[in-house]
Each structure stands twice: as C-alpha cells, then as structure tokens.
Amino acid sequence: MQKKCTFYIVRHGETEWNLKGFYQGQKDSSLTANGIQQAKDVSQKLKNIKFAAAFSSDLLRAKQTAEIIVLEHKMIVETKKILRERNYGRLEGTSIAKAQQELKDTFRKFGDLSADIRFKTPLIDGSETDEKIATRLATFIRETSVAYPGKSVLVVCHGGIMRAFLIHMGFAPKEEMRALAIENGGYFVLESDGVDFFIKETVGVHKGEMV
C-alpha cells in the first residue's frame, strides 16, 4: 500500500479585485496589503510543517501567496497551469454585482437547475463548469501523491477550484458552499494515496453561510 501524501491546499490572499467585487478567473490582480498579511498569517500557522514541495497556480496572486508562505523554508515555488481558477469567459474583469443585474435571467435560469446539473453546466458560454475545475484539481492531487508518498506538499490556488473540489468530494452540498465560502488565506488539509481523498482539517472554510 502506498503511503499517503498530505496536502495543505490554500486559497490566495485578498486581491484588489476581491475588494472591488470583480470576477477574476484567469486574469490577474495583485495582493492587497491585507492579502500579504493573510499570507504571512498562513506562513506562521504552517511554519512547523516540513514541506517536500510547494506548488501554486501560475496566476500572480497565487504565486505571491505561496512565495510568502514558504519564504522561511527557502523553497522554490513551482507553478502549474492546472491549478488556475475557473475560466469565467467574458465575465472576467467585470463587476459581479453588475453582471448579476445585467444577466439576471441567465443567473436565475442557472440557479433553477438542480445541483447535479449545475455542477456540469457552464454559467455562460465559454466559462468552465464546476465539474471541469474539480477534475483539474483532483488530477493534480492524484499525480502529485504518487510523486511524494509520505510527504507534505503545499498547494496555493483559488477559491472557486477549491470549492468545486470539496463539493465533488461530498464535503458539503453546493447550497452549503456559497461563492465566498472559503476565506482568503483559508485552507484544508487533505491526504491522498493517489486514489482516494481524505479531508483531515479545514481552516476558514464555511458551510451554509456567507463570509
């Protein structure tokens, strides 16, 4: 039996677009001063973990967060495109509130779908589904588990992909994992043997409430 790899999967710190309420997706926005502090706080929480490797999405906000977390470990962060946030298509860089108003019929019809159908359906043409982004993260975890059996690995990515993965795992129904249910700097600890996944701990992950 292969030894389990332990993953610390972290959401990036707060960004300028988080503050403005914009869809970020695969476009980028720098960390705010608060976002930098959030990354430092995570670094302190995880300072005693001996990471064998550190990975992040190739988007700036995730890479910045990861580099702060492992600064004292003197590690190099390896970036992976597979860890990117959801592609939101034409919504990227636009106001969430404005889009919900201008596309209210689209949002209403999407919201009326059953949870299972919503998981497999893009919100708009050109956007990625929850199923697709959850599969991306699951694939990365399985492949990395095989490479680092018995080791601890840091992964810094994004709220959307983390949330979709947790729903995919059955951690909570979609109705209990709202869009902002993972705080900036929130994380979960997961073990995997390359086949199965086991959630061991969550920090800053909220079910059934907005944060």
Alpha helices by DSSP H, the chain: 16-20, 33-45, 60-69, 96-102, 104-112, 115-119, 130-147, 159-169
User: What's the rounded Cα separation, in Å, for the pair 23 and 46?
Assistant: 29
* Residues contacting residue 156 through CB under 8 Å, at least 6 positions apart: 9, 10, 11, 12, 54, 55, 56, 57, 62, 63, 65, 66, 69, 77, 83
Active site residue 168: no
Active site residue 85: yes
Residue the block writes with tokens 């061991």: 200
* Cα angle value 193/197/198 (rounded, 5°): 105
Instruction: Please say whether the beta carbons of 174 and 202 come within 8 A.
Output: no
* Cα angle value 10/12/16 (rounded, 5°): 165
Instruction: Please say whether the beta carbons of 17 and 60 come within 8 A.
Output: no
Among residues 14, 67, 73, 85, the one annotated as catalytic is 85
Among residues 12, 92, 128, 158, the one annotated as catalytic is 12
Q: Indicate which residues carry an active-site annotation.
A: 12, 85
